[in-house]
Amino acid sequence: MRTTLIIAAAAAAVTSVVTSVVSAGPASAANPPLFGARTAVHFDLAAGQTPENFVVEPNGSIAVTFVGSRQIARVALGGRTDLLATLPVPHDGGTHTPITGAATPTGIVRTHDGTLYVAYAAGDSTLTGIWRLRPGGHLQRIAPCPPTVSPTASHWTPTARSSTSPTPT
């Protein structure tokens, strides 16, 4: 009898929850829908231009990292994409990279002077870490990380603005 009451009570609770959810009414947005949105640029996904992280620059352009090609690029307001740098390929091609199984830029931050910092998970002790790209300069790894981690480049400075969030390892 006790088992029958417990099952009946559970069934009543489930029915109550389902009824509440179904009869809640139509969903509504907290903000009005976005109108007038447009596509600024089409990336070449076959060439590895899969955007992963971005940071908005003061002039409105966007610095972006591409997963498949390990590239750092700038997209101007008019849609022109300029390649800034390419992160090096690990000896094994990145197959030992944690979480993704492929060498991946995992974050980007821009500082007030225009320097870009990119976190790079490569599964390789000579490549995994934080990389710096100064305006007009060359790409340089400045902080090594163990190859078993997936570093991020989130919120390093009070003036940095980034789209990334911490990645658990």
Q: Hey, what domains does the chain have and what are their CATH numbers?
A: 47-144 (2.40.10.500)
pTM for this structure?
0.70
Distance from CA of residue 67 to its chain's centroid? Answer: 9
Q: What is the mean pLDDT of residues 142-150?
A: 89
Band of the pLDDT at 141, cuts 50, 70, 90? Answer: very high
User: What type of residue is 4?
Assistant: T
Judged against a pLDDT cut of 50, whether residue 99 lies above it is answered with yes
- The candidate with the shortest Cα–Cα distance to 71, out of 82, 87, 57, 55, is 87
Mean pLDDT of all residues in 129-156 = 85
